[in-house]
Amino acid sequence: MRLFLLLLLPLLLLSAVQIGAAAAAKAPAAAPAASNLTDLMSRKGCRTFADLLLSTGDAAKTFQDSVAGGLSVFCPADQAMKAFLPTFKNLSADDKLSLLLYHAVPVYYSADSLKTNNGVMNTLATDGTAKNYNFTLQNDGEHVAIQPTAAPAAPARITATILDRDPLAVYVVDEVLQPREIFKPVAAPAPAPAPATAAAAPKKAKPAGPDAAPADQKVADQNAAHRVPSGRWLTAAAAVALAAAAFAVAA
Ligand SMILES: *[C@@H]1O[C@H](CO)[C@@H](O)[C@H](O)[C@H]1NC(C)=O
Ligand SMILES: *[C@@H]1O[C@H](CO)[C@@H](O)[C@H](O)[C@H]1NC(C)=O
Ligand SMILES: *[C@@H]1O[C@H](CO)[C@@H](O)[C@H](O)[C@H]1NC(C)=O
């Protein structure tokens, strides 16, 4: 019985930690005063983005003036924005402004309503008539992501809520959103070559050097490599069982 409990203990602890994390994630975001939007973003992990808003044309003013009518901001986390700075500095003044305005939607979407909304959204960069500077909101009911019209090929994920109080919501995203109007779409990555094709390739195609192992040997090596993880798992499981048994004996 004791042994059973000891084996169970790590699992119980793990689920307790997970439940705690889920509860923390669900807790309503602290609601600091949103009198100054750039100050708010600076303090909550989007300092680089906020600084760019202040230093680029009337970007900060456009954001601030849009709050009253309802606004959802998706600010790139500092790490992502900093990595993007060389590319940003290379843009024309117009494109810089458009890129920044692309990170806000002139509608207030609460965190809950984001989870039930899918589809194309216009941004502050969208001009009145043209269907441009939009992005697509995607979610699986739990995680919310944004697919820009160009790079990155993978959607940007919403990683935190800075503020969610009508008429303003501010979310942190893990990528800079790159509109098709400024950046060329990224080509889909080339599929990895299938191992079967490599094995079927004629041996003559390989350079016959001292390092070149026969094709059969390479296939065998690959199979061995694939088996390693399960072996490790078994070893780890055995170690846990041994440790638990040792505790049971000592107790
Ligand atoms: C917000 O604060 C920054 C300095 O932190 C200032 O430059 C900007 O004008 C302020 N914006 C508003 C709308 O008060
Ligand atoms: C800046 O623009 C030039 C010319 O368009 C380009 O060759 C260069 O790669 C760009 N640099 C970055 C960091 O995007
Ligand atoms: C979104 O913008 C793209 C251009 O980037 C345009 O081709 C498309 O029609 C727009 N979609 C909608 C629904 O407005």
Provide DSSP, 32-100: ---SSHHHHHHHTT-HHHHHHHHHSTTHHHHHHHHSTT-EEEEEEPHHHHHHHHHHHHTS-HHHHHHHH
The predicted model gives 205-228 an average pLDDT of 42
What confidence score (pLDDT) does residue 126 get?
A: 94
214 confidence band (pLDDT: 50, 70, 90): very low
Has residue 45 been placed in a domain? yes
The predicted model gives 133-139 an average pLDDT of 92
Q: Separation of 58 CA from ligand 1 center, angstroms?
A: 12
- pLDDT higher than threshold 50 for residue 23: no
28 confidence band (pLDDT: 50, 70, 90): very low
Q: Is 161 close to ligand 1, i.e. is its CB under 6 Å away?
A: no
Under 8 Å between Cβ of 45 and 162: yes
188 confidence band (pLDDT: 50, 70, 90): low
b/e map 132-168, b = 16+ CB within 10 Å: ebbbebebeeeebbbebbbbbeebbebebbbbbeeeb
- pLDDT higher than threshold 60 for residue 202: no
Has residue 136 been placed in a domain? yes
Closest of 144, 82, 74 to residue 102, by C-alpha: 74
Q: Domain range holding 137?
A: 34-173
The C-alpha atoms of residue 116 and residue 142 are separated, in whole angstroms, by 9
> What confidence tens digit (pLDDT) does each residue in 67-111 have?
999 999 999 999 999 999 999 999 999 999 999 999 999 999 999
Q: Which residues contact 39 (CB under 8 A, 6 or more apart)?
A: 50
Q: What is the pairing mode between strands 156-165 and 134-139?
A: unpaired
Q: Is 132 close to ligand 3, i.e. is its CB under 6 Å away?
A: yes
Q: Where are the alpha helices (DSSP H) in the chain?
A: 2-26, 37-43, 47-55, 59-66, 78-89, 93-101, 111-116, 195-200, 215-250
Pocket test for ligand 1, best of 47, 54, 55 (most atoms within 8 A of CB): 54
Q: Which residues contact 165 (CB under 8 A, 6 or more apart)?
A: 31, 34
Has residue 97 been placed in a domain? yes
Write the residue with the smallest CA distance to atom 3 of ligand 2: 90
Write the residue with the smallest CA distance to atom 11 of ligand 1: 36
Has residue 100 been placed in a domain? yes
Q: What is the pairing mode between strands 144-147 and 134-139?
A: antiparallel
Domain count for the chain, please give it.
1
HSE of 142 in the Cβ direction (CA atoms, 13 Å)? 2
The predicted model gives 124-151 an average pLDDT of 84
Closest of 125, 165, 121 to residue 139, by C-alpha: 121
The DSSP 8-state label assigned to residue 204 in this structure reads: G
Has residue 185 been placed in a domain? no
The predicted model gives 30-57 an average pLDDT of 87
Q: Separation of 23 CA from ligand 1 center, angstroms?
A: 34
Has residue 4 been placed in a domain? no
192 confidence band (pLDDT: 50, 70, 90): low
Has residue 169 been placed in a domain? yes
What confidence score (pLDDT) does residue 70 get?
A: 97
- CATH number of the CATH domain containing 131: 2.30.180.10
> What confidence tens digit (pLDDT) does each residue in 146-178 have?
998 886 667 899 999 999 999 999 999 999 999
Q: Which residues contact 128 (CB under 8 A, 6 or more apart)?
A: none
Share of the chain above pLDDT 70, in %: 57
Has residue 235 been placed in a domain? no
